[in-house]
């Protein structure tokens, strides 16, 4: 079985983002970029499936500018077998990404598609669910446990009330949550090896997909600030402030 893992290049999770002075977006120039943390968990899970013998090939796919090749190479260094880049700049909206991924899925015929539940740039939390809808496949979203048992994919989902178990008919789309696994670091020899692994590039035009945006970003602003308040030095003082100053308890 093939596993398809769509991944995204985003601002490194440890970088504090800055809004551009002209309010057109956030500053991406000279900012450290990395693989979206949820995508790392998806890649890790796919590699573990291959190591366990459930999968025989792991393909990482990115939609984005040519620099997304670095992100794909990271996925290859972690252990993916080959990579596909759909080159497009800027990165399209989730619906267009889902359409591009559907085209790739129809060509590659994977048994399962595993992706991060959300990217930490747009925080949309849409692509996996949309892809499943377009393919008319089953969806396991926010997954913290995953096992493939013949034609059935068993998942545990992290939901607002706790955990939920769902059985999916394969092929399935899975979006992963934080606690599914802990992604490995790529070793230096594997980083070197990854440079020789195949990476194919396509364009939305080749796939016949219109990626024009439906949403217009009118402006991007800093959130309203929150100033630090005062320090207290005892329980008595804290309770007094909460009761009589803030009047909240």
Instruction: Name which of residues 144 to 203 contact other proteins (CB under 8 A).
Output: 144, 154, 157-169, 177-179
2-21 positions binding other proteins, by CB under 8 A:
11, 13, 16-17, 19
CA distance 197 to 185: 18
Considering the complex, state which of residue 6 and residue 76 has its C-beta at the smaller distance from other proteins: 6
Residue closer to other proteins, measured from CB, 65 or 133: 133
Q: How far is the CB of 201 from other proteins (least distance, A)?
A: 25
For residue 229, state whether it binds other proteins (rule: CB under 8 A). yes
Size of site (CB under 8 A) for other proteins: 83
Find, among 120, 146, 172, the residue nearest to 3 by Cα. 172
C-alpha–C-alpha distance, residues 33 and 173, integer Å = 26
Contact 45, 181 (CB under 8 A): yes
105 binds other proteins, rule: CB under 8 A = no
81/158 with CB nearer other proteins? 158
Binding pattern to other proteins, positions 18-47, x when CB under 8 A?
-x------x-----------x---------
Which residues lie closer than 8 Å to 206 by C-beta, 6 or more apart?
Answer: none
Which one of 113, 126, 143, 181 is in contact with other proteins (CB under 8 A)?
126
- How far, in Å, are 134, 136, 213 from residue 142 at the CA level? 19, 19, 26
Q: How far is the CB of 120 from other proteins (least distance, A)?
A: 7
Q: Check binding of 218 to other proteins (CB under 8 A).
A: yes
94 φ/ψ angles, rounded to the nearest 5 degrees: -55, -40
> For residue 94, what are its two tokens?
């989730």
What spatial distance separates the first Cα and last Cα of the chain, rounded to whole Å? 57
DSSP letter, residue 117: S
Query: Is 208 a residue that touches other proteins (CB under 8 A)?
Result: no
């Amino acid at each position: 079985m093939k596993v398809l893992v769509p991944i995204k290049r985003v601002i490194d999770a440890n970088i504090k983002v800055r809004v551009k002075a002209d309010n057109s977006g956030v500053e991406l120039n000279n900012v450290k970029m990395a693989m979206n943390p949820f995508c790392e968990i998806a890649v890790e899970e796919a590699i573990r499936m291959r190591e366990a013998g459930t999968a025989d090939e792991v393909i990482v796919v990115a939609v984005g500018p040519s620099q997304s090749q670095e992100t794909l190479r990271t996925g290859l260094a972690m252990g993916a077998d080959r990579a596909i880049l759909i080159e497009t700049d800027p990165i399209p909206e989730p619906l267009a990404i889902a359409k591009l991924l559907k085209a790739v899925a129809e060509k590659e015929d994977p048994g399962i598609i595993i992706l991060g539940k959300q990217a930490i740039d747009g925080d949309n939390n849409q692509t996996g669910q949309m892809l499943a809808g377009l393919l008319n496949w089953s969806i396991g979203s926010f997954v913290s446990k995953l096992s493939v048992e013949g034609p059935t994919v068993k998942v545990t989902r992290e939901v607002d009330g706790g955990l939920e178990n769902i059985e999916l008919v394969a092929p399935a789309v899975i979006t992963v949550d934080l606690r599914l696994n802990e992604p490995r670091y790529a070793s230096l020899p594997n980083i070197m090896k990854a440079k020789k692994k195949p990476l194919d590039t396509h364009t939305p035009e080749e796939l016949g997909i219109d990626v024009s945006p439906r949403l217009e970003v009118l402006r991007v602003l800093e959130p309203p600030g929150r100033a630090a308040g005062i320090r207290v030095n005892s329980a008595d003082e804290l309770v007094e402030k909460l009761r009589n100053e803030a009047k909240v308890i």
